[in-house]
Amino acid sequence: MAQNTTLGIEESGPREMMEYDVVIVGGGPSGLSAAIRLKQLATENGQDISVCVLEKGSELGAHILSGAVMDPRALSELLPDWNAKGAPVSVAVTEDRFLFLSKSGAIKTPGFMLPKAMHNKGNYVISLANLVRWLGEQAEELGVDVFPGFAAAEVLYDDKLAVKGVATGNMGIGKDGKPTDNFQPGMELHARYTLFAEGARGQLGKELIEKYELDAGCDPQGYAIGIKEIWKVRPEVHQSGLVMHTAGWPLDADTYGGSFMYHMDNNEIAIGFTVGLAYKNPYLSPYEEFQRYKTHPAISHFLEGGERIAYGARAIAAGGIQALPEVAFPGGALLGCDAGFMNGGRIKGIHSAIKSGMLAAEAAFFAIGEDRKQDVLQAYPDAFRRSWLYDELFRMRNFKPLMGNNLYWGTLMFGIDQVIFRGKAPWTLHRKKADHEYLLLADQCKPVEYPKPDGKLTFDIPSSLYLSGTMHEENQPAHLTLKNPDIPVTVNFTKYAGPEARYCPAAVYEFVTDSDGKTRLQINAANCLHCKTCDIKDPTQNIVWIAPEGGGGPNYPNM
């Protein structure tokens, strides 16, 4: 057993250790698909491979949030009989609508003018959280050990600096860093190969990219924040399978973002708003932009008389193939959004997450069959470059660089890129700066005035948080940490007007004035939705997000 060093709890003694052939960090679509594929290959080849999945949410799906419209291609490769097995994939897309919004008007784009990649015929409107729960059932039936409520908090390395596994976080640590009466030490899980599928801006994935310099020569990853609600609407305005996207108002032409509205079954719709985190104005609030968007006549028509039943938010890795790091390193690999496989141009990432998990699983399986361990799974990136997924991402590579500059110019040029050149233009555009580097000083920008919520279409953050089911153990060390506690006031508040109080969709960060007249940053960590926006957008990169005690965070029912 290994010495317990997480959070400095040496007095708790050695950690218990378990060994697997493959350990997977993250119970989302990429992680579970990898687990399923490993077990499928083992069965087909008459071999026995031990696989476990660690999930920091209280249950599978608790932290899963996506739009979502799914291309079923990868799911059909993984589980061809998914329909017969009862997958929660039943609402076929019936209509595509794309609107350009002005403050009070809307222009519908004719279908023939939309690039082929943005058509959704053959796709499905789904709840990704429910699909993940179903994938978990398939994995467990195949013999995968699934451990929800356990956050992987530490990467373990061998003496050659190869990844040999992970350690889960200690539980029952008080705010003072000392064990409470409920203390339980973390556990080490060692593996021949460890696959990281934490989602966008994963804590351990971020560490691995830096340690192994996996992003050398790549564009900086580009992110957006996606904020989502589910509404129960009037039957007369519901159209099962309708997929609607908008661009334009309330954002200006130089701010990347847009909306989605997906009509599910049971008179429910998923409605959301995304804002690229390369935005410049520190006074902008993505949450408030979303609330304002819902008041547009073309949108409010669907919501009036309805009931909001769920809320959540999540960062999205959408930098494209130019920002994709090397995905394999000694002892492991990055899957799904932990690497950045989402196709931003198609507004889809589920199929790419599933496919990346399958490709990594196949590489790990054959390496284990050759009695290898903790080396580089080069077969994984090699297979990716030969796959349909690489071709798809390559064809859409210019989407984010074009759309990140100006809505109208970007739309025109992307149309040329897709319609005339079919995604094979003889140029590849690049981004040179990380998202936080785009933020301007407050005195260079105009404050944004947002209307007060009406409680019918628009809402404040506290009432929204209630619908997310977010809960954390109060007596635990803060999982939102500051490298320098002075910087939020001396730099962020003074120079940037405290943008963390606006880019966070959960009111985690508040600037308060004490009785002595001094301003300080108050961190309401219990509100955290685990969206990672603060880790990405903080202009000084002073905020560091780490996993809290396992089981904490949102508890999304059907996001």
The β-bridge relationship of strands 51-55 and 145-148 is parallel
Q: Which pLDDT does position 13 carry in this prediction?
A: 61
Q: Which pLDDT does position 517 carry in this prediction?
A: 87
Cα diameter, the chain = 72
Alpha carbon distance, N-terminus to C-terminus of the chain: 39
Q: Which pLDDT does position 12 carry in this prediction?
A: 54
**The residue type at 507:** A
Q: Which pLDDT does position 3 carry in this prediction?
A: 45
How many Cα atoms within 13 Å fall on the side-chain side of residue 186?
A: 29
**The residue type at 354:** I
How many Cα atoms within 13 Å fall on the side-chain side of residue 281?
A: 17
Give the pair of three-digit tokens for residue 256.
Answer: 């990347």
To which H or E segment does residue 147 belong?
strand 145-148
Give the pair of three-digit tokens for residue 509.
Answer: 């960060």
Residue 31 in contact with residue 195, Cβ under 8 Å? yes
Name the residue among 429, 503, 113, 455 with its Cα closest to residue 275: 503
3-state helix, strand, coil in the chain (%, to 5): 30, 25, 45
Q: Which pLDDT does position 6 carry in this prediction?
A: 45
Give the pair of three-digit tokens for residue 109.
Answer: 């784009």
Q: Which pLDDT does position 175 carry in this prediction?
A: 87
The β-bridge relationship of strands 332-334 and 187-196 is parallel
Q: Following DSSP, what letter does each residue of 20-65 receive, concatenated?
A: EEEEEE--SHHHHHHHHHHHHHHHHTT----EEEEE-SSSTTTT--
Query: Residue with structure tokens 């709840």?
Result: 127
pLDDT along the chain (559 residues), means of 10: 46 81 98 98 97 97 96 98 98 97 94 86 97 98 97 96 96 87 92 98 97 97 98 98 97 96 98 98 98 98 98 96 98 98 95 98 98 98 98 96 89 90 93 96 97 97 96 88 96 97 97 92 95 97 92 93
**The residue type at 371:** D
Per-residue DSSP letter, 145: E
